[in-house]
A and B are shown apart, each in its own frame.
Chain A
Amino acid sequence: MARWGMVIDLDKCTGCQSCSVACKAENNVPSGSPEEHVRRLTPFWQKVIAVSSGEYPSVSIDLIPMPCMHCDDAPCVTVCPAQATYKREDGIVIQNFRRCIGCKYCIVACPYGARSFNYKEPEDEPYNRPDLPPERADRGVWPFPHRVHGVVEKCTFCFHRIDAAIEEGKVVGEEVLPACAEACPARAIAFGDLGDPASHVSQLLASRQATRLREEMGTSPKVYYLLK
């Protein structure tokens, strides 16, 4: 079984936010007004944070795209009382909107702020595009036909693309990528099987010094960052 992971080259990232926009478009993530964004009411599956260090004039800025880290030991899976969040066999942490009761405990427990609550009835209701398979029988009904307010959502590593690619026999990581990786103009985001030493991501990880965010939390994220 593959172990999907992402490797993001911070040297290549320009902070253009293409990944955030592509994610919103691919997954129909609801948009919100600027005021709502400042109040942190808008759902984001993928965000880009700017981290500055040092004092002017010697300042350095790191632009860090942050999808869900799909932790091996995910705190959100531990705290979810309703089994709405669970880890698939290939390591992707999935949120089942049908089971979610909206207690927000996972938002509290996530060290990466990767989870968002639907604070209002979304305008873009369908979770997915019509060209994608409407139902998957093995994991219950998915995609959820309509969004509702009151449930938590998060990045899925575009698992619908991965699953479809595997069925069609395409190579995930080269022919098929998650929407954010596909949209990145600088090709800063690489996606692939971390368990396969021959994969592109494994080779990237071996080539440069890599780090993960908040490793002291012990969550073992599957999103790696190549340092500048």
Chain B
Amino acid sequence: MAGTFITLQGRSRGYRNALIVLGALALTGLICFIISYVAGHQTFGSSNTVPWGMPIVLAIYLIGLSAGSLILSSLTYVFGREEYRPIARMAVFLAIVLIFGAMISILIDLGRPEKFWRLFMFFYMNNMTSMFAINGILYGGYFVISLVYLGIIFAGKAGAAKITGIVAAGWAVLVHMGTGAIFGFIAAREAWFSALRPLEFLAAALTSGVALLIVAVVATFTLSKREVKGEMIASLGRLLTMFIFILLVLVIFDKLTHLYAPGRDAALYMLTGPGAWVFWVFQIGLGVVVPLVILLHPGLRKTVRGIVAAAASVVVGVFFERYYLVITGAAYPQAYAPGKIEGVWGAAGSFALTPVELILSIGILALLGLIYLLGLKYLQLAPAQESGNTETKP
């Protein structure tokens, strides 16, 4: 089976139903986007204190998943780790789908989405000191490089795949560190301002990327009645454990640095303020404690079920890590003047998730699921089955 890939037939009832449900959700999302475009961003929960809402949370989350997924594929095509070959094509395809979703999310967050092309007028109409403009180069280039990379893999050119793999993985590292820099370089927001932010984003990208890949691979293989290789999943689980530890160390050092200095109000707000439960319950609980307990448990760490549960927990945990950074981090009030600023101008920002924003976010995820399922049907992504049983039921 090594090295042969086939398309899924996609004739089963479950596959068709999944397409219909995802398509309907994506369509509802589109309707909500039109509502938000016509009525303005008052339909979102964001405000002048918390300017970025769910679309940006989703965007940086999807970029992270994408970058992590792409870096993993390089294990096979660059470092020649044969045990990951069955899932390498899926990893690259997933990376392309996810970066596409991230770009759509950013587009939706723009107040004037019809002017998005201004982000891509590099050096001509762009201000190249802006991290957004630099990231425009990074994201756009990443999308193109990933497409080329997938094309070369499909063409079966091992040497070229290795070179593009190196370029693509390096570019993916840049993409995510650039995304971290959007937040880390902003001195005005104390909760964001940190030199560690790009590295933290990279670690989070790898963590969530591996986790999503585990979930996606096991789901695809199980639903298409393929044999899930426990050994491969267990080795991905070990990789996941390592990334969780790296992420945890970076988070701890970031928090400690800001707690140690006397100007620790912002750090205290982030750890004990009204939005801190997101950090403790989701980022630490679901993102670190639950998966680590499962992955270090002598029995559970060897079962596919346990590893998938840990991975799913990480996927959710890292999503809320993004939410915590973008929304709770921005809500910390700015000290315009020394003293206590009274009234509205000194109050911490509030964020109420609106239905439009929620349906829009679900719509984006549904669209990505839809593209992924269609990709499985029309591209040779999934590894061929030894038994020849290619009847699918995803």
Q: Which A residues have a C-beta under 8 Å from some C-beta of B? A: 36-41, 47, 49-53, 61-62, 64, 66, 75, 77-83, 99-105, 107-113, 115-121, 148-152, 213-214, 217
Q: Contact check, A75 vs B188: say whether CB atoms are below 8 A apart.
A: yes
New A-B pairs, 8, CB < 8 Å, besides A36-B42, A40-B47, A47-B345: A38-B344, A49-B336, A49-B346, A51-B340, A75-B186, A109-B186, A118-B40, A119-B47
**Given A50-B342, A53-B339: A81 and B48 within 8 A (CB)?**
no
By beta carbon, the residue of chain B nearest A119 is B42
**Given A119-B40, A213-B336: A82 and B349 within 8 A (CB)?**
no
**Given A111-B187, A118-B111: A52 and B340 within 8 A (CB)?**
yes
Check if B39 is an interface residue, CB within 8 A of chain A.
yes
Q: Contact check, B188 vs A49: say whether CB atoms are below 8 A apart.
A: no
Segment of B18-26, B113-121, B282-290 in the binding face: B113-121
Q: How far is the CA of A78 from the CA of B182 in the complex (A)?
A: 12
Q: How far is the CA of A63 from the CA of B112 in the complex (A)?
A: 36
Q: Contact check, A107 vs B48: say whether CB atoms are below 8 A apart.
A: yes
Q: Which residues of B contact A64 (CB under 8 A)?
A: 336-337
Q: Which residues of B contact A112 (CB under 8 A)?
A: 334, 336
Q: Which residues of A contact B109 (CB under 8 A)?
A: 103-104
Check if B132 is an interface residue, CB within 8 A of chain A.
yes
Q: Contact check, B42 vs A99: say whether CB atoms are below 8 A apart.
A: no
By beta carbon, the residue of chain A nearest B49 is A40
Q: Which residues of A contact B255 (CB under 8 A)?
A: none
Q: Contact check, B186 vs A62: say whether CB atoms are below 8 A apart.
A: no
Q: Contact check, B345 vs A150: say whether CB atoms are below 8 A apart.
A: no
Contact residues, B320-353 vs A (CB, 8 A): 330, 334-346, 349-350
Q: Which residues of B contact A38 (CB under 8 A)?
A: 344
Q: Contact check, B130 vs A79: say whether CB atoms are below 8 A apart.
A: yes
Q: How far is the CA of A50 from the CA of B339 in the complex (A)?
A: 9
Chain A nearest CB: distance from B67 CB in Å?
Answer: 21
Q: Contact check, A62 vs B337: say whether CB atoms are below 8 A apart.
A: yes
Check if B165 is an interface residue, CB within 8 A of chain A.
no
Instruction: Return the 7 tightest CB-CB contacts between A and B, nearest first.
Output: A102-B111, A150-B111, A149-B40, A81-B132, A111-B188, A53-B339, A104-B51
Check if B136 is an interface residue, CB within 8 A of chain A.
yes
Q: Contact check, B129 vs A101: say whether CB atoms are below 8 A apart.
A: no
By beta carbon, the residue of chain B nearest A32 is B42
Chain A nearest CB: distance from B211 CB in Å?
Answer: 28
Chosen A-B contacts, 9 in total, with CB atoms closer than 8 Å, are A51-B338, A83-B126, A102-B110, A103-B111, A104-B109, A108-B52, A112-B334, A150-B112, A214-B335
Q: How far is the CA of A61 from the CA of B182 in the complex (A)?
A: 36
Q: Which B residues have a C-beta under 8 Å from some C-beta of A? A: 39-42, 46-49, 51-52, 109-112, 115-116, 118-119, 125-127, 129-133, 136, 182, 186-189, 330, 334-346, 349-350
Q: Contact check, A101 vs B130: say whether CB atoms are below 8 A apart.
A: no
Q: Which residues of A contact B330 (CB under 8 A)?
A: 108
Q: Contact check, B112 vs A101: say whether CB atoms are below 8 A apart.
A: yes
By beta carbon, the residue of chain A nearest B134 is A81
Chain B nearest CB: distance from A20 CB in Å?
Answer: 12
Q: How far is the CA of A99 from the CA of B69 in the complex (A)?
A: 35
Q: Contact check, A148 vs B112: say whether CB atoms are below 8 A apart.
A: yes
Q: Contact check, A108 vs B188: say whether CB atoms are below 8 A apart.
A: yes
Q: How far is the CA of A122 from the CA of B314 in the complex (A)?
A: 43
Q: Which residues of B contact A121 (CB under 8 A)?
A: 39-40
Q: How far is the CA of A38 from the CA of B251 in the complex (A)?
A: 33
By beta carbon, the residue of chain B nearest A77 is B127
Q: How far is the CA of A109 from the CA of B350 in the complex (A)?
A: 18
Q: Contact check, B127 vs A49: say whether CB atoms are below 8 A apart.
A: no
Q: Contact check, B132 vs A105: say whether CB atoms are below 8 A apart.
A: yes
Q: Contact check, A101 vs B118: say whether CB atoms are below 8 A apart.
A: yes
Chain A nearest CB: distance from B245 CB in Å?
Answer: 31
Q: How far is the CA of A121 from the CA of B41 in the complex (A)?
A: 10
Partner of B341, one of A39, A50, A79: A50
Q: How far is the CA of A111 from the CA of B334 in the complex (A)?
A: 7
Q: Which residues of A contact B49 (CB under 8 A)?
A: 40, 113
Q: Contact check, A41 vs B48: say whether CB atoms are below 8 A apart.
A: yes
Q: Which residues of B contact A149 (CB under 8 A)?
A: 40-42, 111
Partner of B186, one of A47, A102, A108, A213: A108
By beta carbon, the residue of chain B nearest A97 is B112
Q: Which residues of B contact A61 (CB under 8 A)?
A: 342
Q: Which residues of A contact B341 (CB under 8 A)?
A: 49-51
Q: Contact check, A113 vs B112: say whether CB atoms are below 8 A apart.
A: no
Q: Contact check, B51 vs A80: say whether CB atoms are below 8 A apart.
A: no
Q: Contact check, B40 vs A105: say whether CB atoms are below 8 A apart.
A: no
Q: Which residues of B contact A51 (CB under 8 A)?
A: 336-342, 346
Q: How far is the CA of A110 from the CA of B109 in the complex (A)?
A: 19
Q: Which residues of A contact B39 (CB under 8 A)?
A: 120-121
Q: How far is the CA of A66 from the CA of B127 in the complex (A)?
A: 27
By beta carbon, the residue of chain A nearest B41 is A119
Q: How far is the CA of A80 from the CA of B125 in the complex (A)?
A: 11
By beta carbon, the residue of chain A nearest B121 is A82
Q: Contact check, A103 vs B345: say whether CB atoms are below 8 A apart.
A: no
Q: Contact check, A82 vs B125: say whether CB atoms are below 8 A apart.
A: yes
Chain B nearest CB: distance from A34 CB in Å?
Answer: 10
Q: Which residues of A contact B125 (CB under 8 A)?
A: 82-83, 99
Q: Contact check, B339 vs A52: say whether CB atoms are below 8 A apart.
A: yes
Partner of B349, one of A40, A111, A116, A214: A40
Q: How far is the CA of A4 from the CA of B188 in the complex (A)?
A: 24
Q: How far is the CA of A129 from the CA of B334 in the complex (A)?
A: 34
